[in-house]
Structure formats: C-alpha cells, structure tokens
C-alpha cells in the first residue's frame, strides 16, 4: 500500500502572544512609534526650553505637557489596537457628525470664550482640556471615506453617484477648517480622503475634473491672500525679503546647514534663541538638522520610512477591503505630514504649518497620530488570523482595486493539504 506524500511545507513561525498579534508587524510598529516619540521629547526639550523660560515657565514646560499627552495617546493607541475594524465601519457617520459639530463650534460667532483667536486664527477649543478639532477631522475623513468607498464600488464609473456623495460630506469637514483659517490642514485632510478613494478604484478622470473645477478657488486662496502670496514669493526667492516673508525659510536653512555631518550637539543649537520661529513645532526638523546633523536627519528619515513601509504592508495584506482602505489612509496620515514637514524645513515646498508626527509639539496631533498607528496594529492583528491556513479559505476577498496581491492561492493550498 502506497503511503501518502507528506506535506513538508514549512509552517509559519509563531511568535509569543503578547497581545500584539503573532506577526512581526505590530511589535515593530510599536517600537518605531515609541522610539520616534522618545526622540521627539528629547528634541522638544532642547527646542522649547528657551521659549518656555521666555514665557515665564520652567524649561521643561512643553516637554511635560507633550509627555502627558503622549501617555494619554498611548492609552488610545492600545484601545484602538484592540478594536476590530467593524467598529470603525459602524462609527463612520457618528464620527463625522461629532467632528463637524466641533468644527462649527470653533468658527461660530459668539464662541470666542471657548474658542479664542490665537495668532489670527481660531483652531482650538478649551473645555478644561485644549482640543484641535481639525486634527480629529483627519481620522473622520479616512474612516468615513473608506466606509462609503466599499459600498460605492459598483458606482465609481458615474461622477454623480461615484464621486458626488463624497464631495458633499468632505465639504462639511473641509469648509469649517478653511474658515478658521487653516488652508494647509484643509488641503491635507482633503488629500487624505482623495488618496483613500483613489486606492478604492475611483476614476482618475473624475479627480482631474474636480481639480479643474476647484482650481479658481484654490488659486484665489493661494495667490490672492496677502500673507500666502508673500510665502510663495519668499519660497521662490528667499533672499528677496530675508527680514520679512523670507525670514522663516532662511533661518530654517541656516539651522539645517550649520549642523553639518554630526550637528553642533544636543542643546547647543543657536537658532532657537529667537531666530527660528516655532522651533518646537513647525520647524522642529530644522532643529534636528542643526543639533544632530546629517546623521540625525538620516535616522529620522529612516524611522519614518520603516513605519510607512510597514503601514503599506499591513494595508496590502488586510483581510477586507475596508481594512485595506483604512490602513492606506492611516499610513498616508503619517507619511504626508512627515514628508511635507521635512520638505518645508528644507525649502522644497512653501512654508506652511504642519507638525512632524510624534516629534513636533502638539497634543491633538500626537493623539490622532497614535490612534492611527493603533488602528494599523489592529488591522495587522486581524490579518494575522486571516493568513493562518485554517482560516484563509473563509476569509478570502479581492485585494485593493489598484496593486493587489492576488488571492493567496499558495497559502490556501497549504491549508487544504
């Protein structure tokens, strides 16, 4: 009697179950997050100590506030890592409605007592704690767009029923942010939604049409408003007005250029002493370049690159289309902000106020970033179960409309053997 051939395919290596899943992605994602956050606290102390003393506060004032926000954010990360994707799918509409209410409260006349104007803009709500609703709008945009994109898969061919419903709800989130005014955050949030929708399979022609329609409005906002026009002029020619509109960019380039290979040393940077505006926030990457040099800058870039690559890997292997789109959006949230912030510090794009995720001072941004990373970890944990041989058959689904990974027939075959 002939013996049946043995299945000698190597089994998948199982790591100890510590609540992060059995794959390597969640632990490494958490390690990268904690490392960047810790490095951010160290850099923040150096960048903000002079500013804190100038305002009559202890030199550790901003670091303590950021660390407190980070601890709360890590709790939020742990919670999000445990929540299943279907929770976010159910919460898409409530999240949009709640965020819209907060955004309207910020710009509503008569609410200056809880939403004061700071530096010419109303962006924060003070209700015992300070909240920046425009940061919450990023998560709401991603979750809601991913939810509706799954339901509209067969209608993307028509502009009115494909892209139209998205534009209506996007407007509810973007218009109040633009009225604060905070055009850069509004454009970033809109881009997060558009990229999520594009990953779902929306037609590129519809986006081109949308770009043509909105071009006059964007052109007016970018080139018709005095301070924004000055920033464009300073970006094109920083030496034209070095004491005025070009001041920020020039000081940022001086900071980066003076760092050399190894930097001037921790705490030894000079640009934070009243030369570089917002050294602890909008231009903290320039402070990294000054004090840590090319080595420090390379370290930060590699950390973000690893985090982003893991995020897209999680998206590529996600068990459902909604989870894939949610992972794409959460990864883009980190990637776009990091790339744009560093580009501003290097003069690659015009000056705008975007935080460096996990590093810049700003507790609302930190909280939202940690929540997004927690969602990525949750998707990775669910994916880990989906990729086991005993469950692969009943969890098959089509991959992303663009750039899928097939139907994993090899693993399925191993599960049937």
Answer whether residue 308 shows pLDDT above 80: yes
Mean pLDDT, rounded, for 312-322? 93
Tell me what pLDDT residue 311 has: 96
Q: Are 322 and 150 in contact (CB under 8 A)?
A: yes
Tell me what pLDDT residue 215 has: 78
Q: How buried is 363 (Cβ within 10 angstroms: 0-12 exposed, 13-18 middle, 19+ buried)? A: buried
Q: Are 146 and 76 in contact (CB under 8 A)?
A: no
Answer whether residue 411 shows pLDDT above 50: no
Can you read off the two tokens belonging to residue 110?
């008569």
Mean pLDDT, rounded, for 198-206? 85
Answer whether residue 99 shows pLDDT above 80: yes
Neighbours of 122 (CB within 10 A): 19
Q: What angle separates helix 321-345 from helix 363-386, to the nearest 10 degrees? A: 140
The DSSP code for 208 is H
Q: Are 279 and 51 in contact (CB under 8 A)?
A: yes
DSSP for 327-357 reads HHHHHHHHHHHHHHHHHHHTTSS-------T
Tell me what pLDDT residue 228 has: 67
Can you read off the two tokens belonging to residue 173?
């989130």
The DSSP code for 6 is P
* Mean pLDDT (the chain, rounded): 83
Contacts of residue 154, defined as CB under 8 A and 6 or more positions apart, other chains included, come to none
Q: Are 337 and 354 in contact (CB under 8 A)?
A: yes
Mean pLDDT, rounded, for 290-308? 96
Answer whether residue 216 shows pLDDT above 50: yes
Answer whether residue 409 shows pLDDT above 50: no
Coil, helix or strand at residue 121: strand
Answer whether residue 224 shows pLDDT above 80: no
Cα–Cα distance list, 404 to 140, 244, 286 (Å): 25, 49, 38
The DSSP code for 197 is H
Q: Which of 240, 156, 168 is nearest to 201 (CA)?
A: 156
Asked which of 76-80, 88-92, 232-236, 345-349 is least confident by mean pLDDT, the reply is 232-236
Answer whether residue 76 shows pLDDT above 50: yes
- Residue 244 sits at the vertex; the CA angle it makes with 243 and 245, to the nearest 5 degrees, is 130
Neighbours of 262 (CB within 10 A): 12
Residue 227 or residue 309, greater confidence: 309
Query: CA torsion angle for 297, 298, 300, 305 (degrees, to 10)?
Result: 140
Dist CA 160 CA 156 (whole Å)? 9
Mean pLDDT, rounded, for 94-99? 96
At 171-200, the pLDDT tens digits run 999 999 998 888 889 999 999 999 999 999
Residue 187 or residue 400, greater confidence: 187
Answer whether residue 103 shows pLDDT above 90: yes
Tell me what pLDDT residue 405 has: 37
Neighbours of 96 (CB within 10 A): 21
Mean pLDDT, rounded, for 113-138? 88
């Amino acid at each position: 009697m002939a013996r049946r051939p043995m299945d000698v395919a190597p089994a998948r290596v199982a790591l100890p179950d510590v609540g992060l899943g059995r794959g390597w992605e969640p632990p490494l994602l958490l390690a990268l997050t904690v490392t960047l956050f810790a490095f951010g606290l160290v850099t923040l102390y150096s960048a903000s100590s002079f500013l804190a003393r100038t305002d009559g506060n202890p030199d550790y004032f901003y670091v303590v506030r950021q660390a407190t926000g980070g601890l709360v954010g890590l709790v939020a990360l742990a919670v999000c890592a445990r929540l299943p994707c279907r929770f976010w799918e159910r919460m898409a509409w409530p999240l949009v409605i709640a965020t819209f209410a907060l955004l309207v409260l910020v710009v509503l006349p008569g609410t200056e007592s809880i939403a004061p104007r700071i530096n010419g803009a109303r962006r924060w709500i003070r209700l015992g704690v300070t909240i920046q609703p425009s940061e919450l709008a990023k998560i709401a945009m991603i979750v809601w767009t991913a939810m509706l994109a799954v339901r509209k898969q067969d209608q993307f061919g028509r502009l009115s029923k494909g892209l139209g419903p998205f534009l209506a709800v996007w407007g509810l989130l973007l218009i109040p942010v633009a009225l604060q005014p905070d055009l850069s955050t509004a454009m970033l949030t809109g881009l997060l939604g558009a990229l999520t929708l594009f990953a779902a399979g929306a037609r590129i022609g519809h986006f081109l049409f949308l770009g043509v329609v909105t071009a006059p409005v964007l052109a007016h906002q970018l080139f018709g408003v005095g301070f924004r026009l000055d920033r464009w002029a300073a970006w094109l020619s920083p030496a034209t007005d070095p004491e005025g509109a070009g001041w920020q960019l020039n000081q940022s380039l001086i900071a980066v250029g003076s760092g050399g290979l190894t930097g001037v040393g921790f705490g030894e940077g000079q640009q934070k002493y009243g030369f570089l505006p917002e050294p602890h926030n909008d231009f903290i990457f320039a402070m990294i370049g000054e004090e840590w040099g090319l080595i420090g800058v390379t370290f930060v870039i590699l950390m973000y690159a690893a985090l982003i690559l893991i995020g897209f890997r999680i998206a590529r292997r996600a068990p459902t289309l909604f989870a894939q789109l949610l992972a794409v959006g959460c990864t883009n949230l980190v990637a776009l902000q990091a790339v744009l912030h560093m580009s501003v510090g290097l003069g690659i794009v015009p000056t705008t106020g975007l935080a460096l995720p996990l590093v810049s001072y700003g507790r609302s941004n930190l909280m939202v970033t940690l929540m997004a990373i927690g969602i990525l970890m949750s998707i990775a944990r669910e994916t880990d179960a989906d990729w086991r041989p005993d469950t692969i058959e009943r969890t098959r689904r089509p991959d992303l409309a663009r750039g899928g990974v097939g139907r994993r027939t090899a693993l399925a075959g191993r599960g049937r053997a």
